[in-house]
Amino acid sequence: MSCNPSFGGIGKGHLMREVDALDGLCSRICDQSGVHYKVLNRRKGPAVWGLRAQIDRKLYKQNMQKEILNTPLLTVQEGAVEDLILTEPEPEHTGKCRVSGVVLVDGSTVYAESVILTTGTFLRGMIVIGLETHPAGRLGDQPSIGLAQTLEKLGFVVGRLKTGTPPRIAKESINFSILNKHIPDNPSIPFSFTNETVWIKPEDQLPCYLTHTNPRVDEIVLKNLHLNSHVKETTRGPRYCPSIESKVLRFPNRLHQVWLEPEGMDSDLIYPQGLSMTLPAELQEKMITCIRGLEKAKVIQPGYGVQYDYLDPRQITPSLETHLVQRLFFAGQINGTTGYEEAAAQGVIAGINASLRVSRKPPFVVSRTEGYIGVLIDDLTTLGTSEPYRMFTSRVEFRLSLRPDNADSRLTLRGYKDAGCVSQQRYERACWMKSSLEEGISVLKSIEFLSSKWKKLIPEASISTSRSLPVRALDVLKYEEVDMDSLAKAVPEPLKKYTKCRELAERLKIEATYESVLFHQLQEIKGVQQDEALQLPKDLDYLTIRDVSLSHEVREKLHFSRPQTIGAASRIPGVTPAAIINLLRFVKTTQRRQSAMNESSKTDQYLCDADRLQEREL
């Protein structure tokens, strides 16, 4: 955790739930290391709830290291990677070479069947404060230059992105007593499906504080633009995580929020969320002391900007393996994303696939219809990105289906069966939950009373009794003021048992809320999945292939992105319907040829059996 001391948030919390559903680590570690748990968007509907927590940096690091170092069969070696070891490609796969290990900065080598690069901001990383720049991956760490050169030489298309981090402030120098105090949720909602509670009681958690910028802050920014090279650069930074300088420039004359967040239980530092800046260090303190509550604040470490290389993510497959180099996988900021959660989502997918690749199993790909992870990776691999990519719920077309509550039903079962990445215990829990939900929903559908009877049973529900039609219990559960408890009180048999597990009861309520829309969404999802099921051959050479009539422009686009399915191809901007039809035809002919071949081999088999039968009869 080298930037903000928090995990989750809106959209990001969804990713964490999905990472956890695949037995990824970050959610479980966060449940052991958080100091302030809060669910965002509580009032806006369970589909967009955002699980979030302030995390103790030190605890997170300790707990994560403990978990990793205690993982059976895992060897951990630390060292900066300088180069890749490349060998002849495997003939049955595309790619011009194969990676077989890495060279460390001390010249030693580590051989591997597959390699995942997660370079963060280190590839040719450059730190900017004021007018000063110096090469660094993050403050105090060397950048990775040799590796960047190797990747460029291999032919990867490289781009440049920037991000920033705020100064850190000494806790005891802040006057919290005049600031707006925000306390955590009670009870805390854990990130992981396997946890019912987090490690710390709500009353022992730390508060956050809110303050605001003022016109004097604007003035300091505007007066010192000439001392601020990061702001002027053309490198693309994120629009949604802007520095205080860009906020002042783009939205002048406004008060901007500054959240004062704890860095940890026993940390002396406060992280001023919203004050990412690259002014010269002395001006940073001057600006900060203009802000209410920070009048006497001491800056312990200045904020700074980072500029770094990323590789156009259209050069990787949905399993995160590169097109160019076999068995080389990319995850995180190297693919143009930002955020711990986005990185974790790619990390778990890259890890699964690196392992599947070695054991020669088919890749594990999450579709847009299955999870935020799928949306993230599909956006990256088909559209690329020109700014640090962050997850938003608005990017997700099936938002009502892909909720934080049901990530386990969506991914855990697949993860267990197709990827082998899920523990037996988690798998069994997800299976139990899934079948209980299905059973519960069908029971709720089967209970029908006239609306007048419902009204008598649950007087607090705003059920209209004007029409005397039978109403299902599931429809009654849709009312805001009704939950499983009130339903079970009204109809104890057979509903009582569904209230014993809190999570089950809550999830039934959520399913009821979205039931009618989910039915339609399911139809749409089926449609998308049909196109996703039409695979394009991986070794198709779009530039030279003759059987498909395609314009040069479309060929170039397909060649670069190498979509794996007709669905992905159709999402690439500029690929025309005519091109899609041509591709479709190509796929169909290939399929037909293949199934004809399978058919004939089956016939042979049958003939053999028949022969044997005859022999026996004789």
Q: Does 467 bind another protein (CB under 8 A)?
A: no
Site stretch for another protein (CB under 8 A), options 185-193, 270-278, 290-298, 347-355 = 270-278
| Binding status of residue 600 toward another protein by CB under 8 A | no
The CA distance from 240 to 247, in Å, is 10
Residue 333 is a binding residue for another protein (CB under 8 A): no
Interface stretch with another protein, choices 99-107, 352-360, 524-532, 604-612 (CB under 8 A): 524-532
Segment contacting another protein by CB under 8 A, of 27-35, 111-119, 246-254, 278-286: 246-254
Cis peptide before 494 (omega within 30 of 0): yes
By CB under 8 A, is residue 392 in contact with another protein? yes
- Cα(454)–Cα(461) distance, integer angstroms: 8
Q: Which is nearer to another protein, 116 or 279 (CB)?
A: 279
User: Between residue 476 and residue 515, which ones bind another protein under the rule CB under 8 A?
Assistant: 480, 513-514
Stretch 31-70 residues interacting with another protein (CB under 8 A): 40-41, 43-48, 50
Q: Which is nearer to another protein, 259 or 304 (CB)?
A: 259
The verdict on 531 binding another protein (CB under 8 A) reads yes
Report how far Cα 82 is from the mean position of its chain's Cα atoms.
Answer: 28
Per-residue exposure over 251-284, b if at least 16 CB sit within 10 Å of its own CB, e if not = eeeeebebbbbbbbeebebbbbbbbbbbbbbebb
The CA–CA distances, whole Å, from 604 to 593, 596, 610, 615, 617 equal 17, 12, 10, 16, 20
Contacts of 304 (CB under 8 A, 6+ apart): 127, 128, 129, 139, 164, 165, 278
Q: Which is nearer to another protein, 307 or 565 (CB)?
A: 565
Strands 325-326 and 97-104, by their bridges, are parallel
> Should residue 552 be labelled a site residue for another protein when binding is judged by CB under 8 A?
no
Picking from 25, 31, 24, the residue whose alpha carbon sits closest to that of residue 56 is: 31
Distance, in Å, from the CA atom of 547 to the CA atom of 402, rounded to the nearest integer, reads: 39
In sequence order, the 6+-apart residues with CB closer than 8 A to the CB of 264 are 5, 35, 55, 56, 57, 58, 59
Is there a contact between 572 and 382 (Cβ–Cβ < 8 Å)? yes
Rule CB under 8 A: is residue 274 a binding residue for another protein? Answer: yes
* Nearby residues of 321 by Cβ (< 8 Å), 6 or more positions away: 327, 328, 329, 353, 354, 357, 363
Stretch touching another protein by CB under 8 A, among 29-37, 71-79, 240-248, 436-444: 240-248
606 lies in the binding site for another protein (CB under 8 A)? no
Question: Cα–Cα distance between 46 and 404 in angstroms, integer?
Answer: 8
Looking at 390-398, 406-414, 429-437, 608-616, which segment touches another protein (CB under 8 A)?
390-398
Question: Is 291 one of the binding residues for another protein (CB under 8 A)?
Answer: no
Give which of 568, 559, 565 is closest to 315, Cα–Cα.
559
Q: In terms of CB distance, is 273 or 346 closer to another protein? A: 273
- Taking residues 74 to 113 in sequence order and writing x for each that binds another protein by CB under 8 A, - otherwise, the string is ----------------------------------------
Sign of CA dihedral 311, 314, 315, 319: positive
Among the candidate windows 94-102, 134-142, 255-263, 316-324, which touches another protein by CB under 8 A?
255-263
228 residue type, one letter: N
Give the per-residue contact string, 563-592, with another protein (x = CB under 8 A; - = no): ---xx--xx-x--xxxxxxx-xx--xx---
Answer yes or no whether residue 436 interacts with another protein by CB under 8 A. no
- Rule CB under 8 A: which residues touch another protein? 4, 9-11, 40-41, 43-48, 50, 238-242, 247, 250-251, 254-257, 259, 273-274, 276, 368, 383, 392-395, 397-400, 480, 513-514, 517, 523-524, 526-528, 530-532, 549, 566-567, 570-571, 573, 576-582, 584-585, 588-589
